[in-house]
Amino acid sequence: MLHDLILGGEWILVIAVVAAAVPELAAAWQFILAACHYFRNHYGSCRPVFPRTAVLIPAWNEGAVIGESIDRLTKAEYPGESLRIYVVDDASTDETPRIVKAKEMQYPGQVVHLRREDGGQGKAHTLNHGLAVLLDDDWMEALLITDADVIFEPAALRTMARHLADPQVGAVTCYIKEGSRPGNYLTRFIGYEYVISQSAARRGQNVLGGLACLAGGAQLHSRANLLALGGRIDTSTLAEDTITTFETQLRGRRVVFEPHAVCWAEEPGAIAALWKQRLRWARGNVAVTSRYRRLWFRRARGHHLGGITFGVNWFCLFLQPIFMITSSAALLALYFAGSPRVWPAFRVLWIINAATYIFITGFALLIDPSTGRRCWRQAVMFPGVVNLAIIADTCFPRLLSRGASRFFAASHLAPPHTSWVTLFVYAWLGGSLAVAYLAKAVEPKRGGRLISAIILYIVGYGTLLCACTFASYVKELRRAEMTWDKTEKTGKMTIPT
Least CB distance from residue 424 to other proteins, whole Å? Answer: 24
**Is-contact 179 263, C-beta < 8 A?**
no
Distance CA 206, CA 39 (A): 11
φ, ψ for residue 351, nearest 5 deg: -65, -45
Distance CA 433, CA 421 (A): 18
**Residue (37 or 280) nearer to other proteins, CB:** 37
**Residue (50 or 457) nearer to other proteins, CB:** 50
| Tally: H helices and E strands in the chain | 21, 8
Give kind and range of the element (H or E) at residue 170. strand 169-178
Least CB distance from residue 248 to other proteins, whole Å? Answer: 15
**Residue (363 or 484) nearer to other proteins, CB:** 363
Pairing of strands 151-152, 53-59: unpaired
**Residue (222 or 313) nearer to other proteins, CB:** 222
Least CB distance from residue 231 to other proteins, whole Å? Answer: 14
Binding site for other proteins (CB under 8 A): 31-32, 34-38, 41, 43, 46-51, 79, 82, 141-142, 155, 159, 162, 164-165, 167, 203, 222-224, 260, 355, 358-359, 362-363, 366-367, 395-398
**Residue (398 or 406) nearer to other proteins, CB:** 398
Neighbours of 390 (CB within 10 A): 21
**Residue (38 or 424) nearer to other proteins, CB:** 38
**Is-contact 231 456, C-beta < 8 A?**
no
Least CB distance from residue 376 to other proteins, whole Å? Answer: 14
Least CB distance from residue 25 to other proteins, whole Å? Answer: 14
Distance CA 173, CA 215 (A): 6
Least CB distance from residue 223 to other proteins, whole Å? Answer: 6
Least CB distance from residue 110 to other proteins, whole Å? Answer: 16
Query: Given phi > 0 = left and psi -120 to 50 = alpha, else beta, which region is 302?
Result: left
Distance CA 295, CA 311 (A): 9
**Residue (260 or 298) nearer to other proteins, CB:** 260
**Residue (41 or 74) nearer to other proteins, CB:** 41
Rg (C-alpha) for the chain, rounded Å, is 24
DSSP, collapsed to helix, strand or coil, labels residue 91 as coil
Distance CA 492, CA 336 (A): 53
- Alpha helices, DSSP H, located in 65-175: 66-74, 96-106, 123-135, 156-161
Least CB distance from residue 354 to other proteins, whole Å? Answer: 9
The side-by-side arrangement of strands in the sheet containing 254-265 is 111-116, 83-90, 53-59, 142-146, 218-222, 169-178, 254-265, 151-152
Least CB distance from residue 343 to other proteins, whole Å? Answer: 15
**Residue (398 or 479) nearer to other proteins, CB:** 398
Least CB distance from residue 146 to other proteins, whole Å? Answer: 20
> Which residues are bridge partners to 262 per DSSP?
175
Distance CA 468, CA 270 (A): 14
- Residue by residue, DSSP assigns 415-449 as TT--SHHHHHHHHHHHHHHHHHHHHHHHTTSTTHH
Least CB distance from residue 75 to other proteins, whole Å? Answer: 16
